[in-house]
Structure 1
Amino acid sequence: MKKLLLLLIGLCFHLPGIACVTCNKQIQETIFDSTFYPNLVTMLSAFIVLGLLVALLAFVSTRRHRLQVAANPSGNILNPVPLTSAATVLGIGLGGFIDGIVLHQILQWHEMLSNKLPPTTLVTKSVNMFWDGIFHAFTLLVVGVGIVLLWRLLFRKDISRSGNLLAGGILLGWGLFNIVEGIIDHHLLKLHNVREITENTAAWNYGFLGLSLLLIIAGLALTGRERKVESLG
């Protein structure tokens, strides 16, 4: 009851000893300082880059499909691009959730700003948790977009509905997320490392990129195999 009372009081008053954004003035001042908007733009930038990559891949794949249809006018070649694109968007969001849930929360190897603002105090831990939440909000939005894109495919009859395209697209999106987020946050801006408490953070950062490349290769292999089967059919 005492803890519950303190939390309820904290909703209305500033309590420095409570790690709460709405009740701890020091945490509020640290979050909403001059770095707030730069941090917000930084986290959004990775998703903007990913959106442009998906649009580019969809454009190239659509053009390739049209050339394939033109070369085989008598064939009934279903379009693999819509499902692959929707699955890739969904994979980007799921990849973000996997990163946040496993590395940020379960293992706690790093947090969003843990290289620039080490979570060694009540305030810095709470600030990092806030930005982890903003990151998860963006990934939730991406997953929502992916679900809508998949739902819209229910009304189309000219597309391929292969499980290989779904699985391959998700792996491709997951790998793309890791690559873009890793390059921007780990290497360029150095907001955090894959694993902060280690003597060789670079090895973990590059290992993360290597694993991401394997995901992309696996995703491309699955989607490419399905396209090959359809062209033969």
Structure 2
Amino acid sequence: MNRGALVLGLGIGGFIDGIVAHQLLGWHHMLSGWYPPDTPENLHLNMRGDGWFHLLCLVLVLAGTALLNRSTPLPARVLWGGVLAGWGVFNLVEGVVDHLVLGIHHVRHGPSQLAYDIGFLVLGVVLLLVGALLARSTTGGVRR
């Protein structure tokens, strides 16, 4: 698996999570498990947490791009397979550490939050497996 594609996928996965779950759906913020956004102060704290999270995602995307630029061009399947696998790794790390272990936030707070958290982990496994299979199924390309 190409490191650059994997790191790029980590950042893209984070951006997709932040944009969709935090901003578009409004299901949670980065720190909403610890600081429910029910006061202006807590909402501001959560917004800052989201900002730091998005900044980390940007750093990962830039690092992945820099790593990709240091190597020969990859076959598209290897690149996109690595990106999907990286997104899957993001979901697994985020889901286990932030959702289950630390309780910083859950995918969607409420009575079904464990189901949403498990669904997020299942999506991570599927993305990782599909990405790994896609990256390995090149024909005639150089595998790394």
Structure 2 partner of 1:186? 99
Structure 2 partner of 1:18? none
- Relative contact order (alpha carbons < 8 A, sep ≥ 6): 1 or 2 greater? 2
Q: Among 108, 111, 127, which residue is 1:199 paired with?
A: 111
Largest Rg, 1 or 2: 1
Runs of 4+ aligned structure 1 residues displaced above 2 Å come to none
Identity within the alignment, % = 44
CA distance in 2, matches of 1:214, 1:116: 29
The SS at the match of 2:106 is coil
Structure 2 partner of 1:217? 129
Q: Among 40, 47, 57, which residue is 1:139 paired with?
A: 57
CA distance in 1, matches of 2:101, 2:123: 19
CA distance in 2, matches of 1:161, 1:220: 15
Q: Which runs of 5+ in 2 are unaligned?
A: none
CA distance in 1, matches of 2:94, 2:111: 22
Structure 1 partner of 2:67? 149
Is the counterpart of residue 208 in structure 1 residue 120 in structure 2?
yes
CA distance in 1, matches of 2:125, 2:7: 17
- Write the deviation string for residues 100-148 of structure 1: whole angstroms up to 9, x where unpaired: 1110111110011111110011111010000111111111111110111
Q: Which runs of 5+ in 1 are unaligned?
A: 1-80
Given the two structures, how large is their TM-score scaled by the length of structure 2? Answer: 0.93
CA distance in 2, matches of 1:108, 1:140: 21
Aligned length: 141
Structure 2 partner of 1:166? 79
